[in-house]
């Protein structure tokens, strides 16, 4: 039962923006990546994730940031994806 709930939560995290490299969260500055990554809770035990590392990926014209997080309680790891785009917030 508990494992089923964790599995459902993992799937939900993947569907949310930032869950996969194909659907990154748009941010205006890399400074917000750490706080956003650690505001997400572990799908298995609901503890907040800790930021382990933070990497830049360049795919053609797109610059992606991958935040690797780890759960302090159970060791579950996942990656959160961000796209740094300074124009998103300046445009409106
Ligand atoms: Zn956990």
- Contacts for 40 with CB less than 8 Å, ≥ 6 apart: 13, 48, 49, 69, 80
Find the 57 Cα to ligand 1 centroid distance in Å. 26
pTM for the complete prediction?
0.82
41 alpha carbon to ligand 1 midpoint, in Å?
A: 8
Tokens encoding 82? 């961000």
Q: What angle do CA 41, 51, 21 make, to 5 degrees?
A: 80
| DSSP type of residue 28 | S
- Total domains in the chain come to 1
Q: Which domain holds residue 11?
A: 2-90
pLDDT, tens digit (0-9, with 9 covering 90-100), for 39-90: 999 999 999 999 999 999 987 777 899 999 999 999 999 999 999 876 655 4
Which CATH number covers residue 73? 2.30.30
Q: Is 41 helix (H, G, I), strand (E, B) or coil?
A: strand
Backbone φ, ψ for residue 29 (5° rounding): -150, 145
pLDDT digits (tens, 9 = 90+) for 12-33: 999 999 999 999 999 988 899 9
Q: How far is the CA of 45 from the centre of ligand 1 (A)?
A: 4
């Amino acid at each position: 039962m508990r494992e089923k709930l964790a599995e459902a939560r993992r799937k939900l995290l993947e569907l949310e923006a930032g869950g996969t490299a194909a659907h990154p969260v748009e941010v205006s500055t890399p400074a917000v990546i750490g706080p956003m990554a650690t505001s997400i809770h572990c799908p298995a035990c609901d503890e907040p994730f800790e930021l382990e590392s933070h990497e830049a990926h360049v795919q053609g014209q797109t610059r992606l940031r991958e935040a690797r997080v780890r759960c302090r309680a159970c060791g579950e790891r996942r990656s959160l994806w961000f796209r740094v785009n300074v124009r998103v917030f300046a445009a409106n």
